[in-house]
Chains A and B, each alone.
Chain A
């Protein structure tokens, strides 16, 4: 591809003429506020642009084109029907500030989604506004903070996270003005309860965790954890990134959590878009409900209305979060139905345990061999790295050559040379078997021809990229030669 940019295609005087409105003057703008020189945007024909971006798209891996077993990310099939449903002209043309009186169709959809998510969470209140998991976390921690403040206990500013926590958890706590303390995880992947008991105290605002944990196992003593934190005066936050594992089988509300977020772009199959958008609705127990971010849709006797919770932490966006993603999630949930929802958790777990069993037989080391996998599991290549100098990163890059997206690498941090593998329920057995075959092949290669693995990928549009150079010699924008 040679990295020809759209700017390299540009020629003065060219353009996509059909896209331009009839010329109009804006002569009354004060001259001192106008720009002197036009921005150097591309000047290309419509066909040139179309071809350029079509070809660029083909340089991507995606769910639609490859198996994408990226742990913690739930890369399942994103139903096209949901995309179309959310793209109804009436929804796309709706202005966010249109009065509620002429928005009843949209509000009804949001209300339906709130109800569905409350049920899945096992919690009585839900706000749909957060725009991704991390913003849901932010809402949750801000709510925990506000709740303590409302109890007159403003000294509680420490958030506990298990050692394997996702980076957004500590980053969120810090963004909310809290300090972070890590709690150790024991050999079998569960939180160390003694360490937790030692860590909680008068400063504890709360604990953030996923369950199944980021170790890919169900935290068996989650109710003990909840008791320890609650007894110390703290609250519990559930990071919903791993909810796909237990959808329809267990509810965070029953485990003792006070507030949670969903990742609709994971569990509810909305597309990841090459980085986003997502949606991270937050649910809460009755005592935290008044603190939810607004607005929320309420159903009255004759219509739907926007309401702001009484002690709301406020708005997190100007309008209604990622409304279009919420519609897609609702479309997906409606197609699943209750039965379909339960099967999501079941088959996601079946696929993960099947892959884990097959890889173990193929000679890979599971990080927690005595545990049941949840919807994902971890293998560690530490022994391989020691013996053959082939790292988890090398393995990941080599997988690309086999037409498989790499699993998540080096997360959670405490497992050395790890791959976190999440097949999701929408992959068929043949696809899983092909993945095992690729892994076996690379394992053999790592022993017989480690150089090929170390220098992978070989079949991508580019060879391995120099990240150090990228950071040292910053080139963040195209410039004319």
Chain B
């Protein structure tokens, strides 16, 4: 009996205390016709050893050489201490810190995390995570629509345009979530330089409730965020900034975009100590200005005092949340991505601002080296960060498939996301990629393209 500690004597004594003859009697309130057994042939339970063997075989099947794909999930170095600490049972097997006095560890970690994210983004408040970047963007859009009182009063249509190069999978997730509240999410075109073309919005009256821009955008291109922020501010449009937190070690924080900055900042925390692991679990974060704190979804930790006047931490502003506010809550989120927040907090403590800046800069430099080595033209002219779209001059999907058969993830073919970019791949080289690996990719690509 895996994981069940009862001896026969225990079971007998317990049944006696309850006053029933057998365990079956405890199910006597379930109508007979609802009682069932698993269908099909019974599966024998595996020992841990057998189970581990099956998993090891399956994992080995998928083992790949160097990864040159980013697109929202990056192969960065993670210090050994990060997951040694995050996997401690006291962090990993605790529940949500509702009993604050017995959860000071988790609560303080979240408070430290909130501080670090506020430092990176320049915002005043941060929540204790949402599920991930795409679902987090949906929450940011819902929050912006709730928070733009001026738009609600004036009856502006519930339209939240996205800059053309917001991550297409984030756009999909956002649409499937916010469409249920009648919010329309049109895409703005991107220009030849790879940056959003706001002229499509010029003359639009009334202006949109909110606008979403990603920095760096999905193409790795750096947007002219100052102009975008000013455009939004002038019109009473709330600006939602979707950012890579690692990039903020180098780039201007969204609070400093244009003359007033972004209103809401969201993103995915995977670059901060979270393994790629097929894309999850990772975590999403949501930060805002002080004025919008009460519109944030999810948990928030505050510092307070105990009965002796000593400092301590507790969940706060819970009247925003589903367990208190029910149908009027800012979101339905309950379970979040807490353990990943713990890992990210430890990661940021170990790297510090200088370490994160070096990782970001090294990734930018490696990507430049990669683009040079691949010898194919860049598709977009604007400066890029640590990802870049290159043109292969022929349909990219079969090329990427061929490279994968060679054991190499040679970029993401963009055709499935942007039909007009079917000849292009999005490539990324993080600080982990060596020059030898880059050379291997370049050689393999030359081979694939010469076929």
Task: Tell me the residues in window 39-86 of chain A with beta carbons closer than 8 Å to chain B beta carbons.
Answer: 39-44, 46, 49-50, 52-54, 56-65, 68, 70, 73, 75-79, 81, 83-86
Q: Are A122 and B36 in contact (CB under 8 A)?
A: yes
For the complex formed, measure the closest distance between the CB of A345 and the CB atoms of chain B, giving whole angstroms.
Answer: 8
Known contacts A170-B326, A171-B327, A331-B51; is-contact A92 B176 (Cβ 8 Å): no
Contacts of A364 in B (CB 8 A): none
For the complex formed, measure the closest distance between the CB of B183 and the CB atoms of chain A, giving whole angstroms.
Answer: 10
Contacts of A357 in B (CB 8 A): 17-19
Q: Mark B98-124, 1 if CB is under 8 A from A, else 0.
A: 011111111011011011101110001
Q: Are A94 and B93 in contact (CB under 8 A)?
A: no
Which of B147-155, B196-204, B206-214, B346-354 forms part of the interface with chain A? B346-354
For the complex formed, measure the closest distance between the CB of B58 and the CB atoms of chain A, giving whole angstroms.
Answer: 4
Q: Are A318 and B133 in contact (CB under 8 A)?
A: yes
Q: Are A335 and B46 in contact (CB under 8 A)?
A: yes
Q: Which of B72, B92, B299 contacts A273 (CB 8 A)?
A: B92
Cβ-based interface call for A346 (8 A): yes
Q: Which of B52, B102, B251, B345 contacts A84 (CB 8 A)?
A: B52
Q: Are B307 and A321 in contact (CB under 8 A)?
A: no
- Bound-state CA distance A315–B102 (Å) is 37
Cβ-based interface call for A469 (8 A): yes
For the complex formed, measure the closest distance between the CB of A21 and the CB atoms of chain B, giving whole angstroms.
Answer: 4
Q: Are B92 and A475 in contact (CB under 8 A)?
A: no
- Bound-state CA distance A331–B357 (Å) is 38
Q: Which of A7, A134, A275, A429 has the most CB of B within 10 A?
A: A275
Contacts of B308 in A (CB 8 A): 463
Q: Which of B310, B314, B335 has the most CB of A within 10 A?
A: B335
Q: Mark B1-40, 1 if CB is under 8 A from A, else 0.
A: 1111110001101110111100100111111011111111
Which of B232-240, B275-283, B373-381, B437-445 forms part of the interface with chain A? B275-283
Cβ-based interface call for B172 (8 A): yes
Q: Are B175 and A314 in contact (CB under 8 A)?
A: yes
Which of A195-203, A227-235, A250-258 forms part of the interface with chain B? A250-258
Q: Which of A30, A122, A315, A475 contacts B176 (CB 8 A)?
A: A315
Q: Are B250 and A462 in contact (CB under 8 A)?
A: no
Q: Are B30 and A249 in contact (CB under 8 A)?
A: yes
- Bound-state CA distance A23–B358 (Å) is 6
Task: Tell me the residues in window 86-110 of chain A with beta carbons closer than 8 Å to chain B beta carbons.
Answer: 86, 88-99, 101-106, 108-109
Q: Are B327 and A170 in contact (CB under 8 A)?
A: yes
Q: Are A95 and B67 in contact (CB under 8 A)?
A: yes
Cβ-based interface call for A369 (8 A): no
- Bound-state CA distance A319–B81 (Å) is 27
Q: Are B326 and A476 in contact (CB under 8 A)?
A: no
Q: Are B280 and A319 in contact (CB under 8 A)?
A: yes
Q: Which of B3, B306, B338, B431 contacts A76 (CB 8 A)?
A: B3
- Bound-state CA distance A7–B322 (Å) is 32
Q: Which of A75, A108, A255, A318 has the most CB of B within 10 A?
A: A318
Q: Are B313 and A3 in contact (CB under 8 A)?
A: yes
Q: Which of B18, B169, B281 contacts A277 (CB 8 A)?
A: B281
Q: Mark B349-390, 1 if CB is under 8 A from A, else 0.
A: 111111111111110111010000000000000010100000
Cβ-based interface call for B260 (8 A): no
Contacts of A77 in B (CB 8 A): 3
Cβ-based interface call for B165 (8 A): no
- Bound-state CA distance A411–B322 (Å) is 13
Which of A174-182, A379-387, A440-448 forms part of the interface with chain B? A174-182
Cβ-based interface call for A300 (8 A): no
Known contacts A83-B87, A90-B59, A105-B60; is-contact A276 B351 (Cβ 8 Å): no
Q: Which of B101, B319, B334 contacts A133 (CB 8 A)?
A: B334
Cβ-based interface call for A150 (8 A): no
Which residue of chain B has the shortest Cβ distance to A372 in the bound complex? B29
Cβ-based interface call for B292 (8 A): no
Cβ-based interface call for B449 (8 A): no
Q: Which of B304, B324, B351, B364 contacts A475 (CB 8 A)?
A: B304
Cβ-based interface call for A283 (8 A): no
Cβ-based interface call for A114 (8 A): no
- Bound-state CA distance A456–B44 (Å) is 47
Contacts of B323 in A (CB 8 A): 166-167, 411
Task: Tell me the residues in window 173-216 of chain A with beta carbons closer than 8 Å to chain B beta carbons.
Answer: 173-177, 179-180
Which residue of chain B has the shortest Cβ distance to A325 in the bound complex? B281
Cβ-based interface call for B331 (8 A): yes
A-B pairs, top 9 by smallest CB distance, nearest first, are A314-B176, A319-B279, A64-B89, A275-B338, A337-B45, A96-B279, A273-B339, A90-B59, A105-B61
20 residue pairs from A and B, CB less than 8 Å apart = A3-B312, A7-B112, A29-B383, A30-B383, A41-B116, A41-B348, A53-B85, A63-B93, A79-B48, A85-B52, A94-B62, A168-B332, A274-B97, A319-B278, A324-B280, A340-B45, A350-B15, A429-B10, A476-B293, A478-B112
A6-B112, A171-B325, A463-B308 given. 16 additional CB < 8 A pairs? A32-B226, A53-B346, A60-B103, A63-B94, A91-B59, A167-B322, A168-B332, A174-B332, A272-B338, A277-B283, A315-B169, A335-B51, A337-B46, A347-B6, A461-B104, A477-B118
